[in-house]
A and B are shown apart, each in its own frame.
Chain A
């Protein structure tokens, strides 16, 4: 074994390059897998506490992306009356209205009621927790996610101004209606981290001021137009138009009934989307791209394995003499074969270790970018069982790949014996 190490050390430059090639492909394979896994967990965690999303009829994936992740937007709004209707359906435990369409420096702004913070659950039933401050008390309050706070350096008391539209380009800045941050949420590693929450009044107020009515947003509560709404309900202010309603069910079996009731609602075309079903649809769409990425990383791995076989094979001719010497001092042909296989395993093993280091480094660099842009956390766990299995497979293939040069060496040593024919 020491001989193998010494022999490799003698060819350290080529060996190091081979190790590097394997390391990069290992890092690539791990990154693709990790990204895929964490995107899925993060998305699933974001939506895990919502049983149904009611929104104007449209593509389910689009509705899910827009409402839960703040990516893109739903086609239109729906009447605020739907909220009451939904709340009274059997089996519905809570319903929270959601308004969207604005952003703050690229982070989506969500107009919602204070109930949101009581009912929304993420990552298998965890509630939202305030790191600092508390929920907004009036139309000028805002609650921000952990990532928004970290990225923009905001704290309780900071005044912010939102812009219309979903992108980073501020098409129209609502600088006439600033918000004061009243609370910062604890990190959840879901889409919530990169959201800015304001009250429905506040959100509606932004747009109300643009309209002809131009009234004080507080007046909206007592506006005669809204007397049609039943004021018994605790949710208080309900705007004319909302984008979606999150529903939590008291009884999971009610899901189909509620879904049917909403689909057959005649006043306007609505849909009730089950987040998990929509996520599956999303994965089936992204699956093709994922598979292409995986295929590519496997191809890169195969290329680096071939590189290793080339390294081992190219050295064989030059090492004929060396093998003859080993034979003369008592090495059996299988000892020589063992040396080649051991070399391959060592090179692959070193490649895996260096690859893990590269992977961890890349993770540290990529993590903040991914959390800011997509609310996707790569996770802090070092290696999952799947990943360890993957690495073991790579090691096995490294050993298998060495059989070709090892077989050649076996025949060579048998043919050469002790005399080297150079």
Chain B
């Protein structure tokens, strides 16, 4: 298992953002759905080792991120795209990706090829020398994905990766997700159920800090049969599960 968590919680003051999540995931694309404030981003940040859990156990890529050495090993093999993607506007796209490749300890000799490959995979090869401040919002999102995959991560965490992408790019991105999911565990947090339907092999639905559903996209769609709210089967399933969890 690349991701193993048991009874994982995260508290911010009086707010319980993640309230006892159990999750195990191996290679494949795992979609994390949920309304705003469900705890998706907090869960992803814990998996990204950005914040420690308040309680529970977490093992990533076979290591305990609570200790420095194993955490460093996890980070070498981790890719992370935060929801609020920051960037250095003066860097070119290639420099930015190279910078994070260096921080991720990609062997120096491999960096030029890794940077070129990552930039190509997000279809920004022609913009490698463009400064980030000159890129559009969608291009910046793709630049963020490029930095996340530059180290060929075994665990890739993407928080709202398709926000700001045009339909054509979203289609291309889903293809990229499927490809990455062949070898790595990809966890995608999103509001867009069509992304889940098109790219994810498994899906989890979070509400109020808990996972209230897990299964395949087909299972989720099946939950919505006969439920009136929503235009598509997955949306109906999403709404039905949330309504059930809250009732």
A and B held together in a complex: no
A→B interface (CB under 8 Å):
none
B→A interface (CB under 8 Å):
none
